[in-house]
Amino acid sequence: MEFKTIVITGASSGIGAALARALAAPGRTLALLGRNTERLEAVAGACRAKGAICSTTSLDLSDTARLATVLDEVGRVSSIDLLIANAGILDGRSADDAVETASVARQVLETNLLATVDLVHVVLPAMRRNGRGSIVLVASLASLVPLPDAPAYSASKAGLLSYGLALRDAVAAEGIRVVVACPGFVATAMAGRHLGPRPGEISADDAAKRILAGLRRNKAMIGFPLVPFWLSRLSQLVPEALRRRGMRNTRFHVGP
């Protein structure tokens, strides 16, 4: 893949950090964004050791003004070729509740969906002017199978999937690729809040490899692992009672 300048959000750990390490190479510039300065610098160090030029910025993606300033500085040196919108949070009901609180629901939707849409619109104008660029939106299999223990998380990822697929069609003729990754369970720090079964869980490095393979093939939707992905796609076609029965073994709550 001919990417010279790459922006990755949520790069301080998990899938974002794994993608940064996988993409690091001589001649590439990586702009890593996240909320934990110390972990970002550790990831950047690993990327620099592989020959990449690497910058880090600790920020909250909801700070759109600062985000625009940071990415404008990145793009001033070299046009952004690849944006990986990976930042997100997992939240849902606590052990003592049947449903998440209103404040939790709002925060999840604002972080996972609205902040990501804002991020895309910071980068997209320059890509359209240049007639090239790639965007990866990291959603979840929860976008296909709503989780009763995390309604807002499910909605945020379903919204991201729909947004990404629509955007893909909207800008394809302008030379811009948009793909949406829908991972299943991935062993990350964020997943540690998920207190319950995590069937088919894979490593963050494995997830990164699958996402980049799908990007190379310009797949609209990159879903994995394969069996859970296809079961998820088919789940909306089965009767509700059967779907609920199948979800019994995946119930969970979130920890602190």
Nearest in space to 7 (alpha carbons), one of 40, 33, 27, 25? 33
What pLDDT, in 10s, does the model give residues 104-124?
999 999 999 999 999 999 999
What separation in angstroms does the CA of 82 have from each of 37, 129, 235? 22, 15, 32
Q: Band of the pLDDT at 233, cuts 50, 70, 90?
A: confident
Residues 190-200 have a mean pLDDT of 64
Query: Structure pTM?
Result: 0.88
| CATH code matching the domain that covers 5-254, chosen among 3.30.300.30, 3.40.50.720, 3.30.70.260, 2.60.40.1260 | 3.40.50.720
Residue labelled with tokens 């619109």:
121
Q: Quick one: pLDDT band at residue 242, thresholds 50, 70, 90?
A: low
| Per-residue DSSP letter, 218 | T
Domain residue spans in the chain? 5-254
Show which residues are catalytic: 153
pLDDT of residue 135: 98
Q: Is the pLDDT score of 72 beyond 60? A: yes
